[in-house]
Amino acid sequence: MYIVTSTVLVPPDKTEEVIGIYQNRSRRVDNAPGFHSFRLIQNVKKTNELTVHMEWQTKEAYQAWVRSQEFKEIHDLEKNYPDQELAGIIPKVRQYEVVAR
């Protein structure tokens, strides 16, 4: 299993807006080969810290998604988000290989 996280710090007054965006996400990734799950998680102490947690069957499945046209289209929409404060947030992406269960 391969796990990818993407963490952002959003302005505190925009936290609920960003959560709403993810609650209404396109779900296009859900049909990608090798995709297992998507979760948006919120830090309980620093509530404006949000992390996308995605699980993939393999690293190769994740990399194929990242190279796909659908990935490009989704992320181009994010770059053109009307709220430039949100559009300018750079996520911290981390990738993990599950080595024990």
Cβ(91)–Cβ(6) under 8 Å?
A: yes
pLDDT digits (tens, 9 = 90+) for 16-25: 999 998 998 8
SS3 60: helix
Torsion 43-46-18-79 (CA) sign = negative
Class in CATH terms, 2-97: alpha beta
Q: Is 85 exposed, middle or buried (0-12, 13-18, 19+ CB in 10 A)?
A: exposed
Domain residue ranges in the chain: 2-97
Helices assigned H by DSSP within the chain = 15-23, 59-66, 69-79, 84-87
What is the rounded average pLDDT of the residues 71-98?
81
pTM to 2 decimal places: 0.88
Give the confidence band of 77 by pLDDT, cuts at 50, 70, 90: low
pLDDT at 43 over 90: yes
Considering only 42-51, 53-62, 82-91, which range has the smallest mean pLDDT?
82-91
